[in-house]
Structure 1
């Protein structure tokens, strides 16, 4: 549970403020640029230089926690921190006329204690100049910051950055990197949702999770009319270092990131997570007992979707379990996976604060063969919507040993819909409730009732209607218990089919029950595979109670 404590503490990320032995890599003899936000000396830089930095850093001891911030920043409240705004007149590409993109920086403070170095790149000359912190880059408004404590603190660095699209027109940011190795992007709704990370370390092991940090960023200057930019990042943590290149396309309806990363292990790593993503699922159409709220649903993502190496499409609805759950879905050379938010109807959330209907999905598309491993999913219990309680990542099968180097390339798609979907019928929604009696009746009413749990899984699209006359058969498998009362219903409002069935326990076990289902017509598969994890109640709770009071 260290992860929940970490997030609850306003993302107080463990890191250090400098890279031992790296000072010579960041110094130069050129005169500081005049009239430019980048005021440092010029140094040679390209991706190969960054890769050498990461490899060299991995051979050195980890620097540990950051130096304390000035008191005026360390004690900021979230409200005060949010009132500190970067001065747009000092944005990184401010002097480029009619620019489509621009960069603004985040101030250190509150839980953001890491001092991140920022560099502007001259792409033609492969030269980098550091952007040093100075108070005049920010507007402090009513944050209550004593700026006298910040004068001369050029080593204070920054907490992260955000990218604005069409900055002089929309003043809307579409990409944000802030805290540890976390980053997010939006689609055309401009509504942030789930987060991605550079790497995950020991998310679910017998030791505390690590949160490596992006310690430096380098920005290539894009052409004025370009909506694509390149940023490089150096990652450092107790167990791993890394060199990253992000090529980020800010398209009209989505953001697409092409990521190339080279990781180096400082020490053995029990669990390494590639392309990790972090989301929130409080409640949805399934297991409504965990959602005592005015809102019908609350979640950043509603399912884990996987396109497996063998071509199988899988839908795994997310849960808010009563205790922490970790599942690993073995695969080889996956074609894609992601945490999706596919319900975009306002009425399904009735939320005017979080706007969950506008939040994007995140899809991972591996480039090249990733070999054997597993898509891992961790779900943490939560009683609200303020904590990210869902983590997903790819874990290579081969153990990571000290001195190992790993290369991974992939694309991330931030959009309302993933870039690819199964051509077969898709899962629209999953619902659960009381079972053991005919639909439309009450438990025990005219029928003897044995306790059961009912599932309703809705499928749409594909070839379902074309095969309706030939017969549609749900193929259902369960890890324990038995299935009964199977019904197949055509539902006109969503023009699809609802599969109803009841699960009956055959023991007093409360271990999670794994359910698996797909639709077929004879030997012809018609749908993606639905996976679900159900948590049976204790035996003394498996009964229906008539609590009506008649007087």
Structure 2
């Protein structure tokens, strides 16, 4: 994955993290009707499109728009009274549209669909709908051009006329939504193509959206999308439900391939992890933790729950977790305690989690996790998605369904105790050891994993609790489990000891048990040890 494309995507998403801006346009009354629209028509259209050579939709924007700075782009606003469905007392939902400009140079066509007749109409761009004050754009220079739009916002029009933005689609096939804490965080994508390979990643685009008028009084809206890229065309249906706890999206997708795809990612999501409890020195910042998500959670097809804490590596790390018919997975922001972030600007403690619940059997494949190095919090450096086991060939039709839960925590959880936090530090030393004391005979790295919840919080005090831990290389030193009363849980502690000078990544798997009975979900971790000549204690803090 290229840094340049990541930065481009993160800039697109950063513009949505600002307070909601009133926006954009209703369809004209004198539109020309399009053919009757439904999902079958869209799927047939996508299939036909995939049978043709790919044509880029990049548009030569006026220079004033193409060279806009992000802050000036965000100053382009619109009278919210012109938003789609404004004045319609049957629904509180409103559709607002983003202006083209900066890197958003692929116009997206918007369509309004009448749910009774099935007829749709194009929503045209008109500069008089926008307020360009303070942006440096002269609207007269945009007259006579139907520039299209860059994306859209979904908002709820509440009592007293406040607007609450709940979801946004902007840039390629990126989109995101909020939960009850009213804060944007990680993003989803329509599709991932050849992510984290030794060549440039392909970013498919949503080129068209169709909006179906909500049912009377409903907080749910249906949005259809057409996706296109050099490798694939696709038809998507999003049933977006604005619930009290957060947004739930039911997604149906049918994709049609133009060519072979080496790595196809289904239900992809991207997030940011800069530093957490196991990497306090990943960046020198006043905030103790900085991340949109702190773990990948997986509910495997065999019923096992797995927690994989996220990591900010020194180089790209790619992991694939093989599964069959997964029950769910997602990037989770498990820690919502403000005191662990102390950030009243970004509000990382309010960031939503994103959980994927497959609909139907997905068969065999892998849940992929990509972690890239970052020194800044504006770049998404974490990616996760499902990869089908069967090779994806040209002229193929693939169909998937799933639900996306943008909630503070996933809608389901393990019946066993969960990982609370992960810690690392110097190993092979007693607590309280300081530089200057006699150094240990051999370098080691210590890990501590805190588990909380049922059944740990109800165990009799004399219950024997053991650590079941495995490492992919190296050897184990001290291993212990002990009751950790302040958190009403248990702490597993172990030392990893190298047995060779290699700095290749170490995979670690751990859970707590009593006898043959597991007590916790499975903790997975990947750690990259320092080079052999850097394995000392007094001079160099571990990253």
TM-score of Structure 1 vs Structure 2, range by shorter chain? over 0.9
| Correspondence for 2:420 among 423, 428, 431 | 428
Conserved 8 A contact 2:54-2:230: yes
The change in CA–CA distance for 1:471 and 1:235 in structure 2 (over 3 A counts) is same
Report how far residue 537 of structure 1 moved. 0.3
Match of 1:343 in 2: 335
Question: Residues of 1 paired with 2:538 and 2:119: CA distance?
Answer: 74
Question: Residues of 2 paired with 1:9 and 1:36: CA distance?
Answer: 30
Question: Residues of 2 paired with 1:62 and 1:508: CA distance?
Answer: 49
Match of 1:262 in 2: 254
Question: Residues of 2 paired with 1:294 and 1:101: CA distance?
Answer: 40
Report how far residue 8 of structure 1 moved. 2.0
In the alignment, is residue 373 of structure 1 matched against residue 365 of structure 2? Answer: yes
Question: Residues of 1 paired with 2:539 and 2:118: CA distance?
Answer: 75
In the alignment, is residue 477 of structure 1 matched against residue 476 of structure 2? Answer: no
Aligned length: 524
Deviation string 1:419-464 (CA, Å, 9 cap, x unpaired) is 0000101000001011111223336746744321110100001212
Question: Helix, strand or coil: the match of 1:288?
Answer: coil
| Correspondence for 2:527 among 516, 524, 534 | 534
In the alignment, is residue 160 of structure 1 matched against residue 151 of structure 2? Answer: yes
Match of 2:67 in 1: 75
- 4+ residue runs over 4 A deviation: 10-13, 35-39, 446-449
Match of 1:31 in 2: none
| Correspondence for 1:287 among 279, 282, 285 | 279
Across the aligned residues of Structure 1 and Structure 2, the Cα RMSD in angstroms comes to 1.7
Match of 2:323 in 1: 331
Unpaired segments of 5 or more residues in structure 1? 14-34
In the alignment, is residue 195 of structure 1 matched against residue 194 of structure 2? Answer: no
Conserved 8 A contact 1:6-1:12: no
Structure 2 matches for 1:170-189, cutoff 5 A? 170-189=162-181
Conserved 8 A contact 1:216-1:233: yes
Deviation string 1:330-387 (CA, Å, 9 cap, x unpaired) is 1110000000001111111111221100000000000000001000011010011111
In the alignment, is residue 525 of structure 1 matched against residue 518 of structure 2? Answer: yes
Question: Residues of 2 paired with 1:67 and 1:192: CA distance?
Answer: 29
Match of 1:8 in 2: 7
Structure 2 matches for 1:379-398, cutoff 5 A? 379-398=371-390
| Correspondence for 1:96 among 65, 76, 88 | 88
In the alignment, is residue 40 of structure 1 matched against residue 31 of structure 2? Answer: yes
Question: Residues of 1 paired with 2:90 and 2:117: CA distance?
Answer: 23
Question: Helix, strand or coil: the match of 1:470?
Answer: coil
Report how far residue 207 of structure 1 moved. 2.3
The change in CA–CA distance for 1:77 and 1:332 in structure 2 (over 3 A counts) is same
Match of 2:407 in 1: 415
The change in CA–CA distance for 1:405 and 1:546 in structure 2 (over 3 A counts) is closer
Structure 2 matches for 1:191-230, cutoff 5 A? 191-230=183-222
Conserved 8 A contact 2:57-2:107: no
Question: Residues of 1 paired with 2:27 and 2:318: CA distance?
Answer: 49
Conserved 8 A contact 1:258-1:412: yes
Question: Helix, strand or coil: the match of 2:281?
Answer: helix
Conserved 8 A contact 1:37-1:91: no
Report how far residue 489 of structure 1 moved. 2.5
| Correspondence for 1:309 among 273, 282, 301 | 301
Match of 1:112 in 2: 104
The change in CA–CA distance for 1:456 and 1:294 in structure 2 (over 3 A counts) is same
Deviation string 1:100-137 (CA, Å, 9 cap, x unpaired) is 21111000001111100000010000000100100122
Report how far residue 528 of structure 1 moved. 0.4
Q: Which moved more, 1:172-181 or 1:482-491?
A: 482-491
Deviation string 1:213-261 (CA, Å, 9 cap, x unpaired) is 0000000111342110000000000101100000010001210000000
Question: Residues of 2 paired with 1:106 and 1:217: CA distance?
Answer: 13
Question: Residues of 2 paired with 1:166 and 1:449: CA distance?
Answer: 66
Conserved 8 A contact 2:422-2:449: yes
Conserved 8 A contact 1:195-1:279: yes
Question: Residues of 1 paired with 2:451 and 2:331: CA distance?
Answer: 19
Conserved 8 A contact 2:27-2:121: no
Question: Residues of 1 paired with 2:327 and 2:431: CA distance?
Answer: 39
